[in-house]
Amino acid sequence: MASIHPIITGVGGYVPDYILTNEELSRMVDTSDEWITTRVGIKERRILTEEGLGTSYMARKAAKQLLQKTGCDPDTIDALIVTTTTPDYKFPSTASIVLGKLGLKNAFAFDFSAACCGFLYSLDVAAGMIQSGRYKKIIVIGADKMSSICDYQDRSTCVLFGDGAGAVLVEASEDEEVGYQNSFLRTDGKGLPFLHMKAGGSVCPPSHFTVDHRLHYLYQEGRTVFRYAVTNMGDDVMKILKDNNLTADDVDWVVPHEANLRIIEAVTKRAELPMDKVVINIDHYGNTSAATIPLALWDNEANMKRGDNVIFTAFGAGFVHGASFYKWAYDGSAVEGVK
């Protein structure tokens, strides 16, 4: 009996129309285009401004495009996973809302929470589900409306984040030459003091006090997060290279979490990988949390060829981190310009 290999067969994406530039941000907080560009590499970010629309709207847009591009029959989808830090509601799940809007009749759906590492983790979960033999087609969506939890009075954080969604279709295949190879995922549990949103959960429920004291926005201790991100992402990539007997010459693409250009540069230097193999779009999207990796794939899809060696790596609140190795399954030039 042939073994089952999970492969990515398509990518979809969505970013809002509204572009928040560094120049506009400089009129809101004490910052400048030069300050933001030199420290984090961001020039602009997309913001979902329409009232009443949340993460599920962007996730649905990305998934709908994915289905259209791949020609996949929605009735053949077995499961849908949405990974997000900014769900529409505490309950029901954002995934259930997306499933309902897409009209998926034969699938189940659930949310997955691992902050900026969510897509990497969810992709691994989907791969395991496919390898079990019980499921053949799974949509994995990374989506976040980070503007909903950003304090636009805090220049150290509000300049970093944007909104967006990316989706991939993971399918079962008997082709041994492509698809998921392996991963290394870890959680160290030390990150709570350095990256969190203090209020809104069961420890600190919403109240007049929490609203008045602006406790419903994300908090980040930048230097600590930077140090942990560089060390862990770099080490994780090197472990993936070692475990798969890969050299820098063997790697075609590195697709990192787009948190900070200086982090990406430091990670690739630590792993001794050239920057020309790294997919970067942080300059025009900012940090979209769980959406960064699928959006990077969406932007770079036309350049990717069947058999390309692709390494994903990410780091997020918790702290959570990891890397994974895929052999790309299709020639992206066939979908060039389709967005």
Catalytic residues: 116, 257, 287
Is residue 131 classed as helix, strand or coil in its secondary structure?
Answer: helix
CA 105 – CA 73 distance, rounded (Å): 11
Give the bridge partners for 13, in sequence order. 166
Which DSSP state fits 134?
S
DSSP-derived 3-state class of residue 298: helix
Under DSSP, the state recorded for 93 is -
Peptide bond before residue 92 is cis, with ω within 30 degrees of 0? yes
Residues in the chain: 339
- What is the b/e burial string over 69-100, where b = at least 16 CB atoms within 10 angstroms of the residue's CB? bbebebeebbbbbbbbbbbbeeeebbbbbbbe
Report CA Rg, the chain: 19
Q: 220, exposed or middle or buried, with CB in 10 Å at 0-12, 13-18, 19+?
A: middle
Q: What whole-number distance in Å separates Cα of residue 16 and Cα of residue 45?
A: 9
β-pairing verdict for 309-316 and 253-256: parallel
Q: For residues 287-308, b (16+ Cβ closer than 10 Å) or e, as one string?
A: bbbbbbbbbbbbbbbeebeeeb
Which one, of 43, 42, 13, 6, lies nearest residue 297 by Cα? Answer: 13
> Cα(218)–Cα(149) distance, rounded to whole angstroms?
6
CB 71 within 8 A of CB 101: no
